[in-house]
Structure formats: structure tokens, C-alpha cells
Structure 1
Amino acid sequence: MPVFLETDRLVLREFTAADTDHLVALDNDPEVMRFINGGRPTSREAIQERTLPRLLLDHPCWGARGYWAAQDRATGTFLGWFEFRPLQPHSPAVVELGYRLNREAWGRGCATEGSGALIHKGFTELGVERVTANTMAVNTRSRRVMEKSGLSFVRNFAGDWPDAIEGSEHGEVEYELTRTAWEQSR
């Protein structure tokens, strides 16, 4: 499995079909999925037919994936995934940052560490000009990761929720970091 990047504690690598069981476990933890779908379980079929194809997609502007399996560097334990995906197929200028980690990884700085490494790689190697991220307004832990990763609040907006979940009435928030702001903060 090709490695995309490594940090002190993490390995971010390409997904494979062999990750199906890890994804099923991750997406069936109600706490992990609380701000995604209200904590409802995701079927193995949905993981195989919808989730995995998205995670395995190579983006033409990079010739690489936009989603990366996260493993503990010391133990090889699957921790979840990171998204660093171009919003336009043929341009790396604007990417979306995201993360979904299992509860064992929470509170350890893994989301911030992985996000920071992806941002650095994006601005120094991949031609990224702007990183954007969003979450539910009430998801304070995710918002804190965005802030600790250098992103700044841009706006509140009303999300298009096909099925409202607890907290969705407060809307969503968008954060961003531009290459210029990142360079000035270094």
C-alpha cells in the first residue's frame, strides 16, 4: 500500500478493498457518526458500493487519491481517514480537508497532526492555493481541530440535510486557509 505521507505518529496511505472491515467498524460507531448522520449505522453494502469507490478515486490533477487511510505509525493500527481532495478534478488550487477518526484516536492530537501535515504537503508540493473545511456549527471538537491546524472561520451557512439530525438546526460552518496566510504564519 503506497504511503502518501508520514508524521511522527501517523502513516497516511492509500485505501484498498482490504480496508472494508475497518470502514464498517468506523462508520458503525454512533459517536463517530454523530455529526455525519446522527449516529445511524452504515451497512457493509453501502461501504462497498458508495464509500470505498469514493476513497479509491484518483484525482487527475494529482494522479493520486484524495482520501487517505490513517494508521498509528508505531503499531499499524487503523485510526480512520483524512480527506485532502481537490474540489475540481483538473485543478489542485482548492482542496477540502476532512477527517474521520475512531474514538481511540480522539483527544490525542492525531486529527491536528494529520491535518497539519496534509496542509504543509499541499502548499509545498501539490500546488494548493486554498484549503477549505466545514462541519456542523455544534461540532466543537472538529472546529477546534480546524483552528489548531491554522484554518480561520469564514461563515455560517445552512446545510442541505436530507434528514435533519440533532444540531443541524444550527447550520454549518466553513473554515479556510490560503497559501498566503499559511506562508505569513510561518
Structure 2
Amino acid sequence: MDTYLETERLVLRRFTAGDAELLVELDSDPEVMRYITGEPTPRDEIVQLVLPEILAQYATHPGLGTFAAYEKASGQFLGWFGLKPTGEAGTVDVGYRLNRSAWGKGYATEGTRALIDKAFGELGLARVIADTMAVNTKSRRVMVKSGLRFVRVFHEHFDDPLPGTEYGEVEYAIDRGTWQAAALR
């Protein structure tokens, strides 16, 4: 296994071309997709677009990408965590998508904190951001518990908006200096 990161309970590794079924299973749960697309991602889309984009990002943005997450104790696939490039130099977007069986166990916070630490400590980046729908209170709580701070509410146009879209999207962030100050406490 090509391990990208380990925490107390998680192992993150690069996805491979043989991992399509893991993503199909994850994205087939309507509750997992509730605040993302509101519906399962078609298998063809995962095989032809999603997975190839994940794999290509490893080469185009070394050190960044989307990584398969496993529970260290059982080896069970939990979902993914990602550090993705943004249009702003030195800034990455942190995110995750977990199977419903992994919800409420602290994995999202544990993985997100570890990625933030890697972004600043190992990768030397300047800023980490995250966003979600304003109504996604559980993800917003993960962002705060991970050390990210509320930045703004913003609105995007969607041709087929999800319920709650009218309340906007929220952005959370942390910069390197804030992260360093918290680490010194």
C-alpha cells in the first residue's frame, strides 16, 4: 500500500485504477451525497471521469490529491480525504467523503486535522480552506473542530439547486501563522 498519511486510527493511501468500485459504493448512498449532488454518482461517471481525474492529480500536483481512507484496526474502507489545489497560490482545499458507517466517530475531524498539519508542516503551504452548504451543520462542526475558522457565506448559481441552497455556501479557513500559534500552546 502506498501510504500517504497515518493517524492514530486512519491510513490514507493513493487511489489506484482498480479502486472504482470503492468510489461507486461510496457515491451510491443518497445520504452521503445529500449536500454534494443530492443523488448517487453514476458508475460510468466514476470510471470515466472521477477516478481518472483523481489519478491525474497525483502527477500534476505532487503531494496533493484525493486519498482512500481506511480504518487502521480493521482495514475497512471508510471513504476519502483530500487536499486539492485551488486557484490561489499556496492555498489548498481540504475535504472528505465518508461512508455512513464511519459517521459520528471522529474520523472526519481526525483526518482533516492531519491533512491540515501536513499542508503546513510538510508541504509548506500558506492557507487551507474548506467549504460546504450553509445547512450542512455536521460538516461545519468538523471544520471548526479541525481548527478552521468561519470566513464567509457566498452564493453560487446552480441549474438544479439542492434543498438548502438558498442559504448559501460557507467557507472556513486557517492560515499558517494561526496554525503555528495554536501548535505552540
5 Å-filtered alignment, 1:59-98, equals 60-61=60-61, 63-88=62-87, 91=89, 93-98=90-95
User: For 2:100, which of 99, 103, 106 is the aligned residue?
Assistant: 103
Superposed displacement of residue 161, structure 1: 1.9
Task: Give the conservation status (yes or no) of the 8 Å contact 2:13–2:68.
Answer: yes
Give identity over the alignment, percent: 54
**Would the aligned equivalents of 1:11 and 1:72 in 2 still touch at CA under 8 Å?**
yes
The residue matched to 2:142 in structure 1 has which SS?
Answer: helix
1:138 maps to amino acid: V
Structure 2 length-normalised TM: 0.94
RMSD: 1.4
- Tell me the distance in 2 between the aligned counterparts of 1:88 and 1:140: 26
Equivalent position to 1:175, from 157, 172, 176? 172
CA offset digits 1:128-147 (Å, max 9, x no partner): 11000000000000000000
Q: Provide the residue aligned with 1:30 in structure 2.
A: 30
Return the offset for 1:59.
Answer: 5.0
- Structure 1: unaligned runs, 5 residues or longer: none
Point out where structure 2 has 5 or more consecutive residues left out of the alignment. none
* Counterparts of residues 118-129 of structure 1 (less than 5 Å): 118-129=115-126
Q: Which residue of 2 aligns with 1:160?
A: 157
Contact 1:115–1:149 at 8 Å: present in 2 too? yes
Q: Post-superposition shift, 1:85?
A: 1.3
Between the aligned partners of 1:52 and 1:60, the Cα distance in structure 2 is 15
**One-letter code of the match for 1:143?**
R
- 1:36 is paired with a residue whose SS is coil
